[in-house]
Amino acid sequence: MTQSPEPPEQRAGVFDRMRAGEPYRAEDPEIERRQRAARRLAARWVTACAEDPDTARSLLAELLGSLGEGTELRPPLFVDYGTHLHIGPRTFVNYGLTALDVADITIGADCQLGPHVQLLTPTHPLEPEPRREKWESASPITIGDNVWLGGGALVLAGVTIGDNSVVGAGSVVTKNIPPNVVAVGNPARVTRPL
């Protein structure tokens, strides 16, 4: 996985390659610029949440890739870019969501996310040298419709959680969860059907 730095003319497609799961370096100037812009917009959204709900909704819609009708998020929200985060209609997201959206994160309709849920699409190489050279990659996360993620649940890169499933508080989801089940633990394991 060791690679040499990209020439500037090849950086134009860095976001497409990142979202496709190809290696990238997080210290790329364009990546840093977009992350700063997302943090500024997220900070404006947090301020607006306390003062003007209409402005807050507009800022959130600008920050995210898509935002469904009737969806509610409670601040704060931590994202890498925001534009790769898609949240379906009527979903409720409690305080402190961390959504590292290097690759796409898709949250379905009618979901409930407890406080301090983490959705982490980036991964790092196991080999020491590429890690030292700051190489990363990412895989998308997909959360189906009517999913409940308990407080503090952690969902890792490449995971899909099926419709109607429940993930217990504090669980670490390292592998796909099928539809219509309860999964708990570290690593999360299916404990029963619904």
d(CA 157, CA 159): 6
Query: Residue 27 — pLDDT band, cuts 50, 70, 90?
Result: confident
Residue 7, pLDDT score: 43
Which amino acid is present at 60? L
Q: What is the mean pLDDT of residues 86-102?
A: 98
Position 84 in a domain: yes
Largest separation between any pair of C-alpha atoms in the chain: 52
- Residue 87 within any structural domain of the chain: yes
Enzyme catalytic residues = 124
Is residue 3 assigned to a domain? Answer: no
Q: Mean pLDDT, to the nearest integer, of 58-63?
A: 97
* Domain limits for position 64: 8-193
Distance (Å, whole) CA 31 – CA 15? 8
Give the mean model confidence (pLDDT) for residues 33-38. 95
pLDDT at 3 over 70: no
Contacts of 167 (CB under 8 A, 6+ apart): 147, 148, 149, 150, 153, 155, 161, 173, 177, 183, 184, 188
Could you tell me if residue 142 is inside a domain?
Answer: yes
The end-to-end CA distance of the chain, in Å, is 42
Global pTM reads 0.91
Res 145 pLDDT > 90: yes
Give the range among 18-27, 40-49, 103-112, 159-168 with minimum mean pLDDT: 18-27
The residue among 65, 115, 69 whose CA lies nearest residue 57 is 69
Asked whether residue 1 is domain-assigned, the answer is no
CATH, residue 60: 2.160.10.10
CB atoms within 10 A of CB 152: 16
Q: Does residue 141 fall inside a structural domain?
A: yes
**pLDDT tier for residue 4 given thresholds of 50, 70 and 90:** very low
Q: Within 20-124, where are the H helices?
A: 29-51, 53-63
The total of structural domains in the chain comes to 1
Report the C-alpha gap between 142 and 129 in whole angstroms: 31
Strands 135-138 and 24-25, bridge-based pairing: antiparallel
Average pLDDT taken over every residue of the chain? 92
Gap between the Cα atoms of 56 and 140, Å rounded: 27
Q: How confident is the model at residue 19 (pLDDT cuts 50, 70, 90)?
A: confident
